A and B are shown apart, each in its own frame.
Chain A
Amino acid sequence: MSALDTLLTAEPRVAAAGADLLIDSLGAQAVPVERVEWRPPLPGTENSLATVVADPRRAEANRQALDRMLASTSELVDVRPARDALGLQPGELLHAGPPLTWDRASGPMRGALIGAMIFEGLADSPDSAEAKLAAGAGITLTPCHERGAVGPMAGVVSPSMWMFELRDEANDGTSWCSLNEGLGKVLRYGAYSDDVIERLRWMSAVLGPLLQAAVRRRGRIDIKAIVAQMVQMGDEGHNRNRAGTLMLLRELLPDLIECGAPSSQVAEVTRFVSGNDHFFLNLVMPTGKLQTAAGAGIAGSTVVTTMARNGTDFGIQVSGTGDEWFTAPADTPDGLFLGSFGPDDANPDIGDSAVCETMGIGGFAMAAAPAIVRFVGGSVPLALHTSRLMYEITLAENPAYAYPILDFRGAPTGIDVTLVARTGVLPQINTGMAGKVAGTGQVGAGLVKPPAACFTAALDALAARTPGPAADSPSPPKSVV
């Protein structure tokens, strides 16, 4: 009863929500009042919110999810082809976002799949690739997330593509991500021209093997430590990965030089990596996947474990509902365009890279990356406001990723479906924009939010899985099988 004992003996300090007039009158009595900027919850969520918020399992389940997420580590342990790393068979293609069929695939997703077919030798022209993908015989499309992998933009992975392999020893997790091709006309933005395919071949022939040799020679590289440093060096880990890329190169270079490869190839690899400020994104993303996967599958937990887009749909997954996807049509980002491209050229939101925001960086770390805000069409005050606002929909702060500008506050971590529904505040995502016509490539970068419907659907599913009031007694959380 200690909270109650002090209630009658100490001067009250009040947290208040609701009618301003009544709260004003508390203030008029010279009482310290912290006022909530209250809004009605997302329409139609009242009943599910009441059920889920009152679920006695929730607090402990979320605590457990967050403990695991914050404890998660991330080390680069190997680089190898997807056929070895993930056991991908010929004709098996992975893609970004929630499940998708060819007929619903957007332009850039189709372009990337076409490119992968050509790259794998499954088709000799874009037309034949398209025909085979449409027919579907011998082809399977699977979300990266379902295989523990993540892919930026279209996120297409085929058996011959080389993958970073990362381990979370604290939670015994493994995740994979392809090697980043650079900016502009690249497969992940839906381009499949000869130069794109040629680059992919070089990446499999030279880049992958050299990175493998260097990593194996050097031993594990602590990627989490690099992420922690990059967010203090002006990177937010999604649209700006410049410091991260350089730090990775610093770790790899001696062993790259000594791995026995011809110096011309070492130079090519070094030039390629240092010339691509986004190279490290493909290591941030699996680090995020390791962290969020660690919190997945805990019954009663309302923590978002996946946010991903396939160019058609935005999908989320939530800890308490396991691997069930909650999808809604993806929005189109709002931002700045390259060259003569404009809003009409942009495809709806695409890519698994929203794993950055799911882990608490990217758009959530905009305050830490003032240099990025103009690139995505924002301003520094907006960046500060956005990062601070994200704490209102997250359950924890990650001390591993601390933001100096926010007085070293930890990254806002663990998006809570109930907080999103209650506040109507949606996660802020920084993202690249793909051209909507297959083969175009990147057209810009900007800001986007998930559709609210993903969160309301997830909330309803959580409510449906909440035991009735009869079971309203403390019970230990159980893992979802």
Chain B
Amino acid sequence: MLVSYNWLKYYVDLPDSLTSEELGLKLTMTTVEVEGVEKQGDMLDGVVVGEILEIKKHPDADKLSVAQVDVGEENLRQIVFGQMVDMEVGLKVPVALAPTVLPGGNKIKKSKLRGVESRGMLCLDQEMGLAKEGVSIRFFDKTMKNGTGIVEALGLGDTIFDIDNKSMTHRPDLWGHYGMAREVAAAYNKKLKKYDPPEIGKAKKTEGTTLELSVLVKDKELCPRYMAVAIDGIKVGPSPEWMQKLLLAVGLRPINNIVDITNFILLDLGQPMHAFDKKHLSGDIITVRRAENDEKFITLDEQEHELTSDMLVIADSEKPVALAGVMGGMNSEISDDTTTIIFESANFDATNVRRTATKLGLRTDSSARFEKSLDPNNAELALRRAAELTLEICPDAKVVSNVADEKNFSLNQGPIELSLDFLNKKIGKVIEKKQVIKILEDLGFGVKDKKDILFVTVPTWRATKDISIPEDLVEEVSRVYGYGNIETVLPSFSVTPPERNELRLLERKVKELMSKEYGYTESINYSFVSPDLLNKVGLEINKHIELDNPIAKDRPYLRRTLLPNLFENIEKNTHDRDDLYLFEVGKVFKGEESGERVSNNSDDLLPNQDVEFACVYSSKQDKTPFYEISQSVGDMIRNLGVDVGLEVVGETNESYIHPGRVAYLSVSGVKVGIVAELHPSVQKKFGIDVRVGFAEINLTRLLEYTKERANYIGVPEYPPVLRDIAFVVDSNVMNQDMVKIIKSVDNLINHVELFDVFEGEKLGKDKKSVAYHITYLSKEKTLEAVDVDKIHDEVVKALEKEFKAEVRK
């Protein structure tokens, strides 16, 4: 919202020495965030009033014209202009004289446009920074001397504060200048002028009631108050200069006196109003009702909307004439020939207005205010002010109706009990009672002082939702007192060490090990996946939890596994790198398993959201990436103190898993994860040229098995004896079985390690040669060669018996 300094000054006397920067900072520190302070007319020194004396077509450009302009200089200036606004000879307009720089940094230089010299520019409001949007231009009266500086001609001299709307969504009272002025008055300890326009019945020029207005509010919940009054003798014309200036200062284009009055009050008191042309309303009954489904309505901006029954409209006896709290209708718009108007000043339900505005994509200055929960009492003040201004501006105007007022609201104004001890403890500093009371009263609160407890009555404009508990008052007092005046005090905390979050520590260890020890790089992917991706991997879509309102339609499902995104990562990077080692740790979502409670007093449970780990690996040099993954991931898990082994998988249901290259990671028979290769057919679908290995572990479950390192087993006292053995077996004989058999031969066999495997034609079909290091170790004595030879022979026999091994001697 833009706030005019001059407008504020109308309600509060502020010392001339106070700079606008100081005021802006004060507002930021006590009330709302001021995003910018702009002095009007800044950088407009090079713009003057100029009169167009001649217009010719540009010889070489259809869309350009060439004007001779009198800017009060000895010679006329030749200026080339475009088609933004229609120009004619005799008009007086703002002219930027080259060379100059306009607000926003636009440099105006003497130049040639398609060969025709141009020594300046005819300026739109937008080019002078006087309006943010649209296309508008000011014309000056014939009496305005050519060459008059634009700052003087327009009477610019105001300063405009740009307030961040997001910082005042909770403050319905700040959406007009009067509310802002109240804050300024409190902050600077100044008096605030009363907002007290005369009651309408008592105004002069009220000539009895010729019109009986009645209002029928059908949905009182959505419309707590509706006031209306009719005024006759209106002559539509431009509004007075002082009003236009203020409106323009805060970025609103003047339209006509009646519309300007409603806009002025919107920005003055923050109360939206509407004026209907009486002659377009049929009947004298105004009905506030819900729209019919599919009811059509054309708003002031000439857009047609299809309404639904959850929207509220204002209707005459035949038709809707306004969309409550959002925008009026074209059918009853004020026009040049309007003579009788009906002012509406009402209060509508905040949520309903917001939803209607959002649904129709029609967010207006009016809806922005109503959705903050306005004080219904302001409806009356606004109507009184509107009548006052109308009678002032239109000399023949007179009130010709009763003041209709349908109201159905109550506000909780307290009083709130505020203990001074509570206040001081919350702030962490003792503030004198006198000062507390003064601050509250300046902000409009009523305060009854009963010893150490204040009974505080909330003003109506803060009672709609903003202030209801003592904590709210703590904020009021401390912000005006100044947060900067509170000395900092460190709290006294106990020294107990915090409870450890074991799962988070496990996640961290896994990440550290994978990156630092095994050379994998961490990737993080969205929790959302697309149906395309799921289809590619062959995962069942209907098992996935689905978003009701995904961002784009492309990723509506919550991931059940980290793998698909990682496969996609491989595909994206495969052209840049020969080798890719990636991992991710994150939550996955499974609807069929249960997670945390929905609330502490409900038995309903959220879906399971265990933390999973997954990694993927591919290399142009590696046709069996399984081994790298099983080694790294196996070692990583063992590093966590978990004795993990690989277990054969009988059959896999998942079509993305290579059925011949898959194993479970198991801890004492319990499956904690899986190691496998991507099925070549799925790999093809991803467009990846090389085999991809992957692993997946549920860390939430693995946590149960992790432990600090087990006890050490003592340094061997006697030297070990090493023997190698090499033999040929059938290809399908498994390493883990052979190791098991070798180890089972004798207790002195301390360690068995595979160190070579190969297959080849020489060995015969489906045969492989394997070689092991065997370490013999005794705890009692130094082993002699004869002892070892004996056991070694038995190893050979056992291998021959179990696996028909041919030992190579």
> Do A and B come together as binding partners?
no
